[in-house]
Amino acid sequence: MIKKNIHSVTAFAPATCANVAVGFDILGFAFHAVGDSVTLTRRNDNKIVIEKIDSTEKLPSEIERNTASVVIQKVCEDLRVNHGFSLHIHKKIPLSSGMGGSAASAVAALVAFNAFLESPLTAHQLAQYALLGEEVASGHQHADNIVPCIFGGFTLVQSASPIAVIKLPTPDVTCILVHPHLHVPTREARSVLAASISLKDYIKQSANLAAFISCLYSNDKAILKTSLTDILIEPQRAQFVPGFYAIKQAALEAGALGVSFSGSGPSIFAFADNEAEAANIANAMCDQLKLLNMNYDYWISSISDQAAHVTEIKQS
């Protein structure tokens, strides 16, 4: 079952932007400017060991609490793999940033593991295992980060159980992703959400979601600009980022096609028509963060159709 000639595999998994304003828990896209890598090295025992974590922040080192190790432990149990693995996690996505960091670590580990198999698992099977990592991280099996990470590009999760995925056209836009140096754990961000919504708001949000998906097929940026408005989730989570609406307004005035939280925040994404406009929008957003005396990082990238992938294989 395990290829005998492979000693170690390293895989990269991109950051992801989930929700995309109008698609709570169902829309997401891959953002390759930053991501996590995991190296799996085969062991001669049956142990799963976190050997090293490269990160500027403290990550769980217990096997049952780390999203990368818990999914490897589960898949090895299910497939009755008679080898162990050491994990070296290269963590580049900030913790609790809304950039899909828990998903990326789990996915990178699974993609690396898959390269060891004589009969690799399908993308849908990998996604099902990666959900376990999300449950460990947030207490909820949401797939909107996992799916674009594994499938690449722009995706819609039709179902999380079982996994059903619709690949959407990738919009011809440049994305800005700004990360204020704040921590917003997914559990906390979900805990503030209202248990019910008004019918009026549901209708409006549904119309925005339908219009946005339509514009992905037509590449109509005028519709993109009018539809990318979240009236349900964003107002409830704005409290987590001081000055959020000032940052958003600055981006829109600089020419952004749309602005909202990436996932549960605090990171904020914006779409621009091209790279030059993206640079101006990023500067406008960062200027607001400077006024708030807040540290930040930002990245600018197109939306890539490339999925999580193997970057290195070392032979025995």
pLDDT digits (tens, 9 = 90+) for 232-274: 999 999 999 999 999 999 999 999 999 999 999 999 999 999 9
**Residues 28-37: pLDDT tens digits?**
999 999 999 9
State the pLDDT confidence band at 142, using cuts at 50, 70 and 90: confident
- For position 186, what pLDDT does the model report? 82
Per CATH, the number for 174-302 is: 3.30.70.890
CATH topology for 6-168+304-315? Ribosomal Protein S5; domain 2 (3.30.230)
- For position 316, what pLDDT does the model report? 83
> How many C-beta neighbours within 10 Å does residue 251 have?
27
**Residues 151-173: pLDDT tens digits?**
999 999 999 888 999 999 999 99
Range 82-103 average pLDDT: 94
State the pLDDT confidence band at 56, using cuts at 50, 70 and 90: confident
Comparing 6-168+304-315 with 174-302, is the CATH topology the same?
no
State the pLDDT confidence band at 202, using cuts at 50, 70 and 90: very high
The percentage of the chain sitting over the pLDDT mark of 70, rounded to a whole number, equals 100
Enumerate the domain spans of the chain: 6-168+304-315, 174-302
Residues 257 and 176 sit within 8 Å (Cβ to Cβ) = no
Position with higher pLDDT, 13 vs 184: 13
Q: Which pTM does this prediction carry?
A: 0.94
- For position 61, what pLDDT does the model report? 84
State the DSSP string of the chain.
-B-TTEEEEEEEEEEEEESTTT-TTTEEEEEEEEEEEEEEEEESSS-EEEEEEE-SS----STTT-HHHHHHHHHHHHHT---EEEEEEE--SPTTSSS-HHHHHHHHHHHHHHTTBSSPPPHHHHHHHHHHHHHHHHSS---TTHHHHHH-SEEEEEEETTEEEEEEPPPS-EEEEEEES----HHHHHHTS-S---HHHHHHHHHHHHHHHHHHHHT-HHHHHHH---SSSHHHHGGGSTTHHHHHHHHHHTT-SEEEESTTSS-EEEEESSHHHHHHHHHHHHHHHHHTT--EEEEEEEPP---SEEEEEEE-
Position with higher pLDDT, 139 vs 15: 15
**Residues 276-308: pLDDT tens digits?**
999 999 999 999 999 999 999 999 999 989 999
Lowest mean pLDDT among 21-25, 43-47, 231-235: 43-47
